[in-house]
Amino acid sequence: MTKLNGKTVLVTGATDGVGRLLATELGAAGARVLVHGRDRARGEDVVKQIRAAGHTAELLLADLASLAQVRRLADAVKATTNGLDILINNAGVGSGGDDGERQLSSDGHELRFAVNYLAGFLLTRLLLPRLEAAAPSRIVMVSSLGQQAIDFADPMIERGYSGTRAYCQSKLAQIMFAIDLDAELKAAGVSVNSLHPATYMDTTMVRQSGRQPLSTVEDGAAAILKAALAPAAETGGRFFNGLNEARANPQAYDAGARAELKTLSEQLTGPA
């Protein structure tokens, strides 16, 4: 893998599954890894593993179901580095299935939209000065092939709730955000990509859903690392299925829908 000596990387959701593997591999490549998670014991275990191999890592705790904690996470990143070379928005919650109970974040937003999308939207916005300072830099949105068009008349799915629908809306929102953000930041030297890393990786989220894993976290990590490290000309503003470029849900390419999503996101998260 590309040597990353002197580079600083933030991986959200880095205490389990593909996020944990990403953190250890990025550390092995020489990066200073900012390990995000909710659980201190698991986070400290990841940091210990990276440091034991002779590399550099720091733990940053935050519950992404709280926008206040997202802001504190951004402040912690800013306090520890003047430049952020790679941001991997990997943290997320699963669908809970079609019959999953509708849950709310601490801010009163539908939980999957809040954690999978709004947290990354706000965190990324807050960290843009650090990413621009480190340009050429990268942002990666770990999304999914599971996508469903957002109903802007009911984005929090207060009617006819389905956990699967909520998850798929949140994942499409990530892709829409990545497309717009890449266009916005291209002149500043910041490249933004989104991807479906692998189908039903062998992770806690997949096992808890009752699904049979079909791929490994190594498969997913390889795809995410390609999106994060490949030359910008090969990646910026695109959606990938694993290692290959793919097409997302048609709504992702609707400029009007993306503008509506941006307005909604700014209203829900407040000023960056």
CA 243 – CA 195 distance, rounded (Å): 9
Beta 8-11 vs 137-142: how paired, if at all? unpaired
**In contact, 36 and 91? CB cutoff 8 Å:** yes
Q: What is the 3-state secondary structure (H, E, C) of 81-124?
A: CCCCCEEEECCCCCCCCCCCCCCECCCCCEHHHHHHHHHHHHHH
CA 114 – CA 208 distance, rounded (Å): 20
Catalytic residue status for 167: yes
- Helix (H) or strand (E) holding 231, with range, is none
Marked catalytic residue, from 117, 167, 200, 253 = 167
The DSSP code for 212 is P
CA 203 – CA 193 distance, rounded (Å): 22
Question: Which residues carry out catalysis?
Answer: 167
